[in-house]
Structure 1
Amino acid sequence: MSMVGLRMRGALVTTIYRKTLTVSETVLNSAFSVGEIVNFMSTDTDRIVNSCPSFHALWSIPFQLVVTLYLLYSQVGLAFLSGIAFSIILIPVNKVIANKIGKLSTKLMQEKDARVKMLTEVLRGIKAIKLYVWEQHFLRLITKLRDKELKYLKGRKYLDALCVYFWATTPVLISILTFGTYVLMGNKLTAATVFTGIALLNMLISPLNAFPWVLNGLTEAWVSIKRIQRLLDLEDLDLDLYYNESLLESSQNADIIIKHGIFHWGKELTSEEKSRLHAAQMRRLSKGKGKGKKTIVHLEHNVGEDHHLFVLSDINFTVKKGEFVGVIGSVGCGKSSLLSAILAELSIPEGEIAVSQVESGFGFATQQPWLQRGTVRDNILFGKTFEDNRYKAVLFACGLAEDIYLLPAGDLTGVGEGGMTLSGGQKARVALARAVYQDKAVYLLDDILSAVDVKVAKHIFQHCIMGLLKNKTKILCTHHVNYLVHADKIVLMEGGVIKQQGKPADVLTNIDDILPIELELGESTQSSLSSLLDSVKLDSTMEEESDSVLLQEVSETGTVELSVYGTYWKAIGHALSFIIFLAITVMQTSRNMTDWWLSRWVTNADPSGNTSQFYDDELNEGHFYAGDPEILPTSYYMKIYIELVCLNTVFTLLRAFLFAYGGIVAASKIHKLLLKSVLKLTFKGKSTFFDISPIGRILNRFSTDTYTIDDSLPFILNILLAQFFGLLGKVFSI
């Protein structure tokens, strides 16, 4: 089963990962948060994998019960039906409890998603949080989310305890019902009948104790399967439906064509975006120009229909092969959204779009660069084969030559999660170099010059955009219009529509008062190959393993240290831990006393089966009979036996709820300690911890490992203690 579980985990994680790549970003972001997707790959996957052993238990437990009950029938006859009747009564009760547990598990996972989402955002901005001393604020926010999660965890754990109580007391109650009915039917209890019956009833303990955990595990797995199924039910992005290749037939020289396109993100605008869009609309309306006036009416109509969705409206746009197009406009006017529309990341309810050679992909440099944990070279190559001359040319063109020279290990220097060990400008240039090295036919560059200074920006424009990418189709979104004098076409956007497009001289002169331009770059756009190669210095002598940023996570091996057990003991609390152990001890003691009294009953039973009316009268009056115990009436033994059974059920209930409460207390305290250690950074006070530790590794502590402490550890510990104290009870009863 371990191999099956391992394969299931790999299949689930791979399926979820592939699904996130095949679904449109618009659809994915509107349906799920980052926290939900993280939990899909961690907690939900763990629940499904952990349910693998339960599939065998689901058929083996009923089989064990049937065989045991048949053997019990052979010993006590039809008297065993009284115990069966009690078990049947418990079935609908447990079904109600299981349904309630399923509902609480669903709500629990929703709160867990919200908590993991908040933690993801906090870890991504941890440097800013520590810089502004916001640790306490976010500590309170995450603690509130954790409290909501614990609210549903408490409800589920207490229902688990109730379910366990029912099944744990079932063997004892079945025994009293079975033997009581057997005696009332006129049969005599013999040592052979009682001890064989007790042995058979003890055989019921293990499957009956395991059955609620099996049901709960399968219920949780079913909840997780339905959660993941929601993701898998999302419609995949069909590029054949999004792009209309027939548009390219009429224009063989075009790379991108958009006709009357209307695009939207499928999400509501923020209040700031609404006010900015409204202000832009009012400015255009006040001008009263024909085309702008018609456009504003059309845009307001679409926005009103879509409940203030940001809309790219009536986009007509053509880019020829090898053409350099600049896109300008104010903040929030839709420049980045236009690139996303070309990338098929937006919904297109109306209009048509076509892109040539869409199968080969795009070269895309985003406004917010993303880097993976690894070396600078790994981030630039990104799976491509290393070619020395081409690699050096890309480094030089993207202005990375001097940075590579200054880095301690050259291009083999480690890059932290999301490029945390690099500056903003370095991250932007590494991301640009990665796009350029892919050697695509079409390049979409989203404000790549904003993160660098003027000198570096000129270098990138001269040697990269107008150098290596000279013969490529390029769309550059930027606020630096002074570079766009060399563009073949400029598109001016405002409020989600194309206000004007044409040659630089036609477009830039209309906004000369608002956006002054420089028509001279001051540097030649020509460069020789020799200067490219000579200016780049690479250091290939250092190994990646020597970089602290790329160190692997250290895992303990061998025996678990006592300090780990001590930490969990302290998390529960000394007093509560002692009370839990005391409750387990008393429960097992009462169980042993019940078995002992039953054996005494059989041993001292009257062989003739007759009882004296005097003894009955004495018992009815509550008098203690001090005569020969061998001739005590059956009702006396039955009464004491019932009292001991009731006492055992009380201690069992107490033990179940105390154990559930202790697990909740431990889960709450350990999460608080973990959260404080991360936010307050007790790791020797060094903030470099977040530079060398991937966010995924830290999130695993708050998702998968927290789930282990919340659910798996109490479950395993409960079984361990029950079996251990049961073994001790058997040893001392010999």
Structure 2
Amino acid sequence: AWKKIYEKSVQKNRKPSLLLALITAFWPEYTILGIIMVLMNVCSLLQPLMLGKLLKYFRVDSDIQKEDAYIYAGAIVICIFAATILNNQYIMGAFHYGMKVRAASCALIYRKALRLSKTALGETASGKIVNLLSNDVSRFDLVSIFIHHMWTSPILTLIVTYFIYVEAGWPGLLGIVAVFIVVPIQGYFGKLSAIYRKATAMKTDERVRLMDEILSGIQVIKMYAWEKPFALLIKKARKAELKIITKSSYVRGMYMAFNLFTTRVALFSTLLTVALMDKPITASTVFVLMSYLNLVSQTMSQMFVRGISEIAELIVAIKRLEEFMLNDEYETMSSSFTVDHTSQTKNPLRLKDLTVKWNARLSDNALENISFAVNRGMLLGIIGPVGSGKSSLLQTILGELELVSGGMELNGSVSYASQEPWVFAATVRQNILFGAPYDKKKYADVVRACALEKDFEQFSNGDLTIVGDRGASLSGGQKARINLARAIYREADIYLLDDPLSAVDIHVSKHLYDLCINGYLCNKTRILVTHQVHHLKDADHIIILNNVSMKIQ
């Protein structure tokens, strides 16, 4: 639904609405909830009517027959039973459908996070995504309960007002006025609650981002004994968050206080007016008025106003989700970018006058006027000083950068070993296979080529040893070689190797170059970024980059 609405909005040059997408996807479920709510309100309206009739039977001058009294009593029991069952079904259905909306929103966020462009990924903190998945989407659960009260409560109040007028005349309307005086006050508290909710979300984002950064660099913090300064930073962030949460709690406390005394004030006002007008106060009148005022108080000053508060908070959450969903996405192809994974006759890679940017909004280019072609089975070495654009060139081949001018032709599949080794919390073998089928001979060849055999002997369970979070139990060289092994285990036509030799010593570096890059991959197209120039004496072609452009090739 979001994809269709997004495409239509782009065509009509307007901002897409996530709320409209949710309504389009889930309106049948919420229509069923609306029908249940109407039936439940009918049962609630019938109860005071039947109660009034039953109580009139016990008056001295009553003309109601005993059989009719039994019918009224039975009707009260049936109405209470039906209302209870319907209320149970409504709440269960609301939570069920709310959970479906929440799960759908989480899936939408997850898929969007996988498609974010490099620019959007850099601007979006991981803490914000965590907050969206944990706090913001949880609003759908409660709103599912209150959403139908927003239209049934005013209608129900009008009907109840008529019945109260019939029962008690003008004094009955005074009780309704008392309830309605409280409603705008409750509405104001709801508005305040939404403001504090937005402020809390921002403070929580900031705290989660700070904690994420601290946990990422915890080893450095411990090594330099910086625990106290960083603990103080966390304390300040948490204190700022708690300050907003405390204000929000005071608002909710006032809201709950009004809930408790609204019905009592309304009933007192009505009965006092009846007494002052010298009208008789009967048991049937008191109980019927109390039932009706309870109904109005529950629907208007509790459900309706709480609904306003929750919907206001949901709108804030939806805007945050919508803002995230409108981030730039990774574009796999453009008019000057050709990919053919099946061709075996063309050059695997050809670049012509290529100029790219990391961020389309910035004036600086990541690479300028890059032109070269790579033949099949060729080893291309890329060298240059730090910041010259070597890694940017590999990112360009992967299609991660914004194309400004020129063209690129890529023929064949690509496997990539990043400069920053990445491992996940699983076994070493799972890190290397990365979901690919296990081939014993191929796996053994890859392990040998990447000089991991001795490391496996040192591990307690060999290659079945569990890697800690972010490879905490591995050395830098081990992570680099596992990262390289994952890339070369994957069957591909072109291998992009971003400085895999920098994290290992000179002997292992020679082993990797001779047995892996020039051995195991000798018949494959290889693009090697390195600072160890002495290895490139066997390279078929060398490109020297300087200041984001080609100096010599």
The TM-score, its normalising length taken from structure 2, stands at: 0.76
Counterpart residue number, 2:411: 356
Task: Identify the range of structure 1 (336-345 vs 164-173) with the bigger mean alpha-carbon deviation.
Answer: 164-173
| 2:173 equivalent in structure 1 | 81
**Secondary structure at 1:490's aligned position in 2?**
strand
Q: 1:42 aligns with which of 134, 158, 163?
A: 134
Where 1:371 maps in the other structure, the secondary structure is coil
Tell whether 2:120 aligns with 1:27.
Answer: yes
Aligned 8 A contact 2:545 2:551 in 1 = yes
CA distance in 2, matches of 1:317, 1:54: 63
**Equivalent position of 1:149 in the other structure:** 241
Q: Does the 8 Å contact 2:191/2:309 carry over to 1? A: no
- 1:216 aligns with 309
Q: Identify which range, 192-201 or 127-136, moves more after superposition.
A: 192-201
Distance change >3 Å, CA 407–CA 77, structure 1 → 2: same
Match of 1:467, SS?
Answer: helix
1:24 and 1:344 in contact (8 A); partners too: no
Partner of 1:264: 357
Q: Which amino acid aligns with 1:394?
A: V
Give the letter for the 1:84 counterpart.
I
Compute the displacement of 1:183 (Å). Answer: 3.7
Q: 2:485 aligns with which of 420, 423, 433?
A: 433
Cα 1:388–1:379, aligned 2, differ >3 Å: closer, same or farther?
same
- Counterpart among 140, 164, 167 of residue 232 in structure 2: 140
Residue 145 of structure 1, CA deviation: 1.8
Compared CA separation, residues 317 and 220, structure 1 to 2 (3 A): farther
1:16 aligns with 2:68: no
What is the letter of the counterpart of residue 319 of structure 1? Answer: V
Q: Which amino acid aligns with 1:26?
A: T
Counterpart in the other structure of 2:397: 342
- Rounded Cα–Cα distance in structure 2 between residues aligned with 1:317 and 1:181: 94
Alignment partners' CA distance in 1, 2:209 and 2:401: 23
Residues 257-297 of structure 1 deviation map (CA, whole Å, 9 limit, x = unaligned): 23222222229xxxxxxxxxxxxxxxxxxxxxxxxxxxxxx
Deviation at 1:150, TM superposition (A): 2.4
Which whole-Å CA distance do the structure 1 matches of 2:446 and 2:438 have between them?
12
1:256 touches 1:353 (CA, 8 Å); kept in 2? yes
Matches within 5 A, 1:556-575: none
Contact 2:186 2:255 in 1 (8 A): yes
How far apart, CA to CA, are the structure 2 residues paired with 1:387 and 1:129? 42
Distance 2:218 2:519 in 1: 38
Tell me what 2:369 maps to. 314
Which residue number corresponds to residue 27 of structure 2? none
The one-letter amino acid of 2:392's match is S
1:164 maps to a residue whose letter is M
Q: Show the 5 A alignment for 1:100-111.
A: 100-111=192-203
> SS of the counterpart of 2:435?
coil
After TM superposition, give the deviation of residue 196 of structure 1 in Å. Answer: 3.4
The alignment partner of 1:254 has SS state of coil
Q: Distance in 1 between matches of 2:349 and 2:119?
A: 21
Long gaps (5+) in structure 2: 1-92
- Mapped to 2, the partners of 1:140 and 1:314 lie a distance apart of 49
Task: Tell me the SS of whatever aligns to 1:498.
Answer: strand
Q: Give secondary structure in 2 for the equivalent of 1:460.
A: helix
Match of 2:221 in 1: 129
The amino acid across from 1:363 in the alignment is S
Q: Distance in 2 between matches of 1:5 and 1:333?
A: 51
Instruction: Name 1:386's counterpart in structure 2.
Output: 438
Partner AA of 1:253 in structure 2? K
What does the per-residue CA deviation read over 1:295-351, in whole Å, with 9 as the maximum and x for residues that have no partner? xxxxxxxxxx946x4632222233233221111112222211221122222222333
Counterpart for residue 506 of structure 2 = 454
Letter of the 1:173 partner, please give it.
V
- Report the count of equivalent residues: 459
Q: Relative to 1, partners in 2 of residues 1:260 and 1:169: Cα closer, same or farther, differing over 3 Å?
A: farther
Q: Is the contact made by 2:171 and 2:270 (CA closer than 8 Å) also made in structure 1? A: yes
Q: Which residue of 457, 472, 494 maps to 1:405?
A: 457
Task: Answer whether contact 2:354 2:406 (CA < 8 A) is retained.
Answer: yes
Pair 1:241-2:334 in alignment: yes
| CA offset digits 1:597-647 (Å, max 9, x no partner) | xxxxxxxxxxxxxxxxxxxxxxxxxxxxxxxxxxxxxxxxxxxxxxxxxxx
Query: Would you say 1:466 and 2:518 are equivalent positions?
Result: yes
SS of the residue aligned with 1:422? coil
Equivalent residues in 2 for 1:496-575, closer than 5 Å: 496-501=548-553
How far the C-alpha of 1:251 sits from its partner, in A, is 12
Q: 1:94 deviation in Å? A: 4.0
Which residue of structure 2 lines up, in the alignment, with residue 396 of structure 1? 448
Q: Residue 40 of structure 1 aligns to which amino acid in structure 2?
A: L
Unpaired stretches in structure 1, ≥5 consecutive residues? 268-304, 502-734
Report the structure number with the largest CA radius of gyration.
1
Distance (Å, rounded) in 2 between the aligned partners of 1:95 and 1:322 = 71
Among 214, 224, 232, which residue is 2:325 paired with?
232
Structure 2 letter corresponding to 1:317: F
Task: Give the C-alpha shift of residue 211 in structure 1.
Answer: 4.0
What are the Cα deviations for residues 428-456 of structure 1, in whole angstroms up to 9, with x where unaligned? 11111111111111111111111111111
Aligned alpha-carbon RMSD (Å): 2.9
Describe the SS at the equivalent of 2:333. Answer: helix
Task: Note if 1:170 corresponds to 2:222.
Answer: no
Distance 1:353 1:177 in 2: 81
Q: Which of 188, 194, 210 does residue 280 from structure 2 map onto?
A: 188
Shift of 1:27: 2.6
| Residue-by-residue CA offset, 1:476-498 (whole Å, 9 max, x unaligned) | 11111111111121121222222
Identity over aligned pairs, percent: 36
Match of 2:40 in 1: none
Could you tell me which amino acid in structure 1 is paired with residue 126 of structure 2?
V
Q: Distance in 2 between matches of 1:457 and 1:394?
A: 15
Distance 1:321 1:98, change over 3 A: farther
Q: CA deviation at 1:422?
A: 0.9
Match of 2:535 in 1: 483
Asked if 1:443 corresponds to 2:495, the answer is yes
Q: Distance in 2 between matches of 1:351 and 1:99?
A: 53
Cα gap change, 1:149/1:393 in structure 2, threshold over 3 Å: closer, same or farther? same
> Given residue 103 of structure 2, which amino acid in structure 1 is its aligned partner?
G
Q: For residues 404 and 60 of structure 1, do their structure 2 counterparts lie closer, same or farther at Cα, with a shift above 3 Å needed?
A: farther
